[in-house]
Structures are given as C-alpha cells and as structure tokens.
Amino acid sequence: MSDMLRLSAQSVTIDAAAGDTPTRTISGIAVPYNQDAIVLGGRKVRILPGALPTDGPPPRLLAEHDTDRVIGIVTDRISTDAGMLFSAKIAKTQAGDELLELHQMGA
C-alpha cells in the first residue's frame, strides 16, 4: 500500500440543500501545491505542480481517507497554481447521507 496524505481541507464547499433536488456535490482544493504534508507513516512530503493527473479513471471519494468508506466519485480535477481543485458527487447511500447531515449540522 502506498503512503496516504493527511491534509486538512482549507476550502471545501458542499452543495446539498439548494432547491428541491439537492446536487450532492463537494468541491474545493484537494491538495495544495508547495506545502508540507505528513503521510500516514509520519514522513514529510511536498506535492509540486504537475505531480497529480487530471485525466484517467475518476478517483473514488473517501470518508477520512479510509478505502473502506467510499462515499462518492470525483467528477472533475483541475490543476491550478494553488493546487489541485476537485468536484465530486456524493453517493445516495447511508454513508453519503450521514456525511451531508453532519455537514448541515456544522459538524
């Protein structure tokens, strides 16, 4: 298994309550570039611009980086000077519903 990054989301938006049919999307900065991050093994890494793909198979959206807790799929990846931006669709599952409910409560 490869090392997994632990980064705190600095700018994430969830659009789940607008209108009669919520869109169930989440978007923000997936990985900021040129900033130190700690992988699960405790090693410090820095992601540089161009290091992450913007094409290929869509990544799974995971709750707390847990590969057993898939809650959706990444629909867009855009590399900018600030970092890798993303948009993802949250699944209509119990796990997805719980995530949205906790977000609406401010948790």
Q: Which amino acid is present at 77?
A: R
Query: Per the structure, how many domains does the chain have?
Result: 1
- Residue 71: other Cβ atoms inside 10 A: 24
Answer whether 23's CB lies under 8 Å from 32's CB.
no
Answer whether 13's CB lies under 8 Å from 71's CB.
no
Supply the range of the domain harboring residue 50. Answer: 5-105
Below-50 pLDDT ranges, the chain: 1-10, 17-18
CA atoms of 99 and 107, how far apart (whole Å): 9
pTM of the full structure? 0.73
Predicted pLDDT at 104: 78
